[in-house]
Amino acid sequence: MHPVGAVHEFHEPAYAQNWAERFVPTPPRQALFDLIVEQLTNRALPSNHIVELGIGPGYLALEILGRSRIPSMTYEGVDFSEAMFAIARSRLVDFADHVVYTQADLTDADWTARLSQTPGAIVSTWALHDLGAEAHIASVYARARAVLPPGGLLINGDFVKPDESPFEYELGRITPSRHEELLRAAGFRDVQRLAYLEKNIDHPTSANNYACFAGIA
Ligand SMILES: C[S@@+](CC[C@H](N)C(=O)[O-])C[C@H]1O[C@@H](n2cnc3c(N)ncnc32)[C@H](O)[C@@H]1O
């Protein structure tokens, strides 16, 4: 049996387009977006600049830009795929004046140096597992902690391996407990598991088992 996971070709325009069309948010995935929008709306952030790691086709970005009501918000989507930027640009056309696209590989140490301004929050959904290794997730958490000012918020919703799973998962799908340990080790406080959605221990697929974590810088 193959490890639970998926292989992507995010740099290929046709693959990216087809994948984006299949990735249209389902009701449980929408629940994750609702949670993130609520977190951003209910907190006083140290800056109104929101950075998303792995903006992809822009589904989360559309929700945040359309609904979070952060005054004078600016949004920065980080991704390594030009093909994904093209799809996100078209989805977010109504917010074009407020969105910046920053090309960077999140496995490189210098992605924070490429940000256009200091973020008040860093968000991500279903992206960090694609970095392919726990060490890369730990590095992203550490760099996010370093670039966020005191009171800044990190929220990451991502595919996980259930703590109690007997199955092998691709290496970027780590357990919820490990995410929490890595966030604390990076220096985040008030680390919380906000949700665990579509949990399925016995019948895992590449599309179920995702959880959302938050920490304060
Ligand atoms: C599932 S998509 C994100 C979906 C997005 N959160 C949304 O709501 O539309 C994952 C994204 O992560 C990006 N990605 C994967 N590995 C990356 C890396 N090493 N550096 C930067 N971006 C990466 C991919 O190009 C893809 O656009």
pLDDT per residue as tens, the chain (217 positions): 689 998 889 999 999 999 899 888 999 999 999 999 999 999 999 999 999 999 999 999 999 999 988 989 999 999 999 999 999 999 999 999 999 999 999 999 999 999 999 999 999 999 999 999 999 999 999 999 999 999 999 999 999 999 999 999 999 999 999 999 999 999 999 999 999 999 999 999 999 999 999 999 9
Cα 117 to ligand 1 centre (Å): 20
Cα 89 to ligand 1 centre (Å): 14
pLDDT for residue 2: 85
Please answer whether residues 53 and 124 qualify as being in contact, where contact means their C-beta atoms are separated by less than 8 angstroms: yes
CATH homologous superfamily for the domain 13-216: Vaccinia Virus protein VP39 (3.40.50.150)
CA nearest to 122, candidates 34, 29, 56, 214: 214
In angstroms, the CA 39 to CA 45 distance is 10
pLDDT for residue 137: 98
Cα 95 to ligand 1 centre (Å): 20
The residue whose CB lies within 8 Å of the most ligand 1 atoms, and thus the one to mutate among 80, 143, 170, is: 80
Q: Whose C-alpha lies nearest to ligand 1, atom 15?
A: 130
pLDDT for residue 69: 86
pLDDT for residue 32: 98
pLDDT for residue 195: 97
Q: Is the CB of 81 under 6 A from ligand 1?
A: yes
Domains in the chain: boundaries:
13-216
